[in-house]
Structure 1
Amino acid sequence: MKKIIKCISLMIISSLLLVTSVAGFNAVTLYTDGDYTFADADAESVALYGYNGSSSALVVPASCNGRYVSSVYNYAFEDNTSITAIDFSQASRFFDSIGMKSFVNCTGLSGTLSLPASITSLGHGAFQGCTNITELQMNACVAQIPSQCFNKCASLRTVITSPFVESIDNLAFANCPYLQDIYLSTAVTYISDTAFLNSNRVRFQVFYDSYARVYAQEHGFSYVLRDGVKLSDVNGDNNVNINDVTMIQRHLAELESVEGIYLYAADVNRDGTVDVADGTALQMYLAGYDMPDPIGEILTQ
């Protein structure tokens, strides 16, 4: 009987210790400074946790009680429909992170969202469901656009990423039915198969020698080449003339080699092969004939 009582006592003590441990783990120490609420981030910094001001524009402050603001706390503004804009102009150079689902379903956010260069990390679903953002300017130095980060941003039309973005994860820009253009650099080396799920209007603004162009081509998305090369400008002088016909002929005769984007430009009739028909098509264009292909215009697909 004593063994049973002792066993039960140990179980109760263990349970109490577990509950205390979980409670302590989940506890968040909050600080108030004016209209803002903050949580501990580390010994020198705090994370923005809440805002109770009268302005609909959330101005991210530089500091709180002598400690710099380094981030936005996870779920900090979840379902907040009062905020119409986020102003990062006052944030310090140490502000580098927007946490997981920090602004999820903030449907009041509208217009252009511009992320500052100091940001190096975005959390999963950070701006998911922000249905009234129309343009995203990512000046941020983030290498990864995480899963669902801008999922269900139904009014989003233009995305300009920074040269630091290397990967775009699952559903990052999914369910953005009006997304028209996304600008991507050659730094991008991975895009999830579901990154643009149900965002069927998107057109990739990419460079010829880039993973993003290959991805767009393989996944059936239209794209525009940011290199600025025109269809039929085979010699790269920014003009389309008889010299380009000569360059095609010399390439076919193996007297000169046309490679890369200029070989792409030499495919005048856009049938996937550079041959005599391309030279003929270009000669007809120069002679004033109406041609079905956009000769002389920036390369697209």
Structure 2
Amino acid sequence: MIFSNIPGCALAVAYLMTQPLLADGTFGNFTYTEDGTSVTITGYPDDIVGPVSIPSSIAGKPVTAIGVEAFMECHKVTAVTIPDSVTRIDDRAFYYCGLTSISLPESLASIGEYSFYRCTHLPAVSIPDSVTSIGSSAFNRCIILDEVSLPSGLTEIPDGMFYLCSRLTNLVITPNITHIGNGAFGNCVGLKDLTIPGTVKIIGGGAFVRCDQLEKLVISDGVEEIKSGAFGDCPLLTKVTIPASVTKIENYAFRRRKPAVISATFLGNAPAIGAGIFKIRHEPSPPATIIYYTEGAAGFTSPVWNGYRSVALAAGPEIGIQQPAGSNLDEDDKRSFGTVKVGESGGTKTFTIVSTGTEDLTGLAITIDGANAGDFIIKPPNKASMATGESRIFTVTFKPKGQGTRMAHIHVTSTETTGNPFSIMLAGMGVK
């Protein structure tokens, strides 16, 4: 043979002879390649209008993949049905496509990078549980996407996966997810309520940056790291609870554009923190942020921790009552209303209930008993629940029904586990 005297050529030829021979072809409007056992769709005309149904087989061989850029910029393709034979959608397969609907089969195992990038007419997508791998920015800039289901087989949400999906309002992060990538949900301005399950160990940099409507955030115990700018520039996010499992919060994780009081409650020891984790641009001095932490937790200082005001709280729900505001009452303390004519309303006293524990205080109710309970008129708080650091007021007005000393007790019940209810003695004198 002509190559017999060239070292290594015999081995190279032998290796090449074992590899599948790729063949190009056309089938209707599709172009494809096949390797002898399966077919990959590689192209489709960008000027054909309407829906597309991808064949399950060509020339007797199953179609198993939608190739790189196969439908890229096919702006006039409105819908695609993918057969159960397909296991793979490659990078940029439907990049900037005109899709209004897509049917993904249960056979699908992987979705490539930028595969549905900028499909600006796609309102919903159901990703089957068979999918275990999704590339970065797969649905980036699908600006009207408002409904998505994550597959149970997926363990990581990749970088930029739903970036700028501005109509996405309902998001359930399934408990199989362990990592949320950088910018995964950045600029998802429709998100209002978010729960991060404890299976997630890392929340990536800018994962939820500029989610302008996000106002309720639950970070479950189990999360370990919050990366730089993860929740940056979320103007309505004014309260956040950091579980005991979090060991690291990186630079500017909760940085804000607009000044507002932010309260952050830490349920464990102080994590390692970066610069300006709660920084507010043009913030007042001292900073408006208030840090609450559990009494006895390691690494915190009071009244200031890392430049932020800090307050130690009892673990769990805890109640405090003040009268007047700023003056803490002890259990069974007495408040006197002085002397008031029978049948007339005397002075009204305002009591302030403060939630001083690390958990929300709920189930607030006020009852009154005692010999002259009917002489004291109570106006209860406007809400029965309070987050950490919040306060509610109630008032008591003395209107004696008879002469002499008038006595009663009020009882404030809640979910506090000790000293519940909190009782206060009331006294006044009725005269003619």
TM-score after normalising by structure 1: 0.59
**Residue type matched to 1:189 in 2?**
T
The SS at the match of 2:217 is strand
Residues 112-168 of structure 1 show CA distances to partners (whole Å, capped at 9, x for unaligned) of 322000011211111111111111111261211111110111110111122221111
- How far apart are the structure 1 equivalents of 2:312 and 2:193? 19
**Conserved in 2, the CA contact under 8 Å of 1:206 and 1:226?**
no
- Post-superposition shift, 1:296? 7.1
Are residues 1:117 and 2:175 paired?
Answer: yes
Q: 2:225 aligned with 1:167, yes or no?
A: yes
Cα deviation digits, residues 87-110 of structure 1 (max 9, x gap): 23xx23x21111111111111212
Q: 1:55 to 1:80 in 2, by over 3 A?
A: closer
Alignment match of 1:39 (pick from 83, 90, 100):
90
SS of the residue corresponding to residue 137 of structure 1 reads strand
Q: Tell me, yes or no, if structure 1 residue 207 matches structure 2 residue 273.
A: no
Q: Is the 8 A contact 2:204 2:226 kept in 1?
A: yes
* 1:57 and 2:119 aligned: no
Match of 2:160 among 80, 84, 101: 101
Distance change in 2, residues 1:296/1:206 (3 Å): closer
Q: 1:227 is aligned with what amino acid?
A: A
- For residues 1-301 of structure 1, the aligned pairs below 5 Å read 29-30=67-68, 34=82, 38-39=89-90, 45-47=109-111, 49-50=115-116, 56-63=123-130, 69-88=131-150, 91-92=151-152, 94-110=153-169, 112-139=170-197, 141-198=199-256, 200-207=260-267, 211=271, 213=293, 214=300, 218=306, 220=308, 227-231=315-319, 281-283=328-330, 286-288=333-335, 294=353, 298=357, 300-301=388-389
Note closer, same or farther for the CA distance 1:79–1:46 as it changes in structure 2 (3 Å cut): same
AA matched with 1:97: E
Greater share of residues in strand: 2
TM, length-normalised to structure 2: 0.42
> What is the percent sequence identity of the aligned residues?
22
CA distance in 1, matches of 2:212, 2:148: 18
Structure with greater Cα Rg: 2
Higher helix share: 1
SS in 2 for 1:153: coil
CA pair 191-296 structure 1, distance change in 2 beyond 3 A: closer
* Structure 2 unmatched runs, 5+: 1-65, 71-79, 92-107, 272-290, 294-299, 337-348, 359-387, 390-432
Change (3 A) 1:296 1:145: closer
Q: Which runs of 5+ in 1 are unaligned?
A: 1-27, 64-68, 233-239, 241-268, 271-277
Native 8 Å contact 2:205 2:226 kept in 1 = yes
Aligned counterparts of 2:222 and 2:192: Cα–Cα separation in 1: 22
1:102 aligned partner, one-letter code? M
Aligned residue type for 1:57: A
Structure 1 residues 33 and 165: alpha-carbon distance in aligned structure 2, compared to 1, 3 A threshold: farther
Q: In 2 relative to 1, CA 138–221 (structure 1 residues): closer, same or farther, beyond 3 Å?
A: farther
Q: Does the CA-based 8 Å contact 1:177-1:201 persist in structure 2?
A: no
Instruction: Give aligned pairs, total.
Output: 219
Separation in structure 2 between the aligned mates of residue 193 and residue 291 of structure 1, nearest angstrom: 43
Which structure's relative contact order is higher, taking Cα pairs within 8 Å and 6+ residues apart? 1
SS at match of 2:133: strand
CA RMSD of aligned residues (A): 4.1
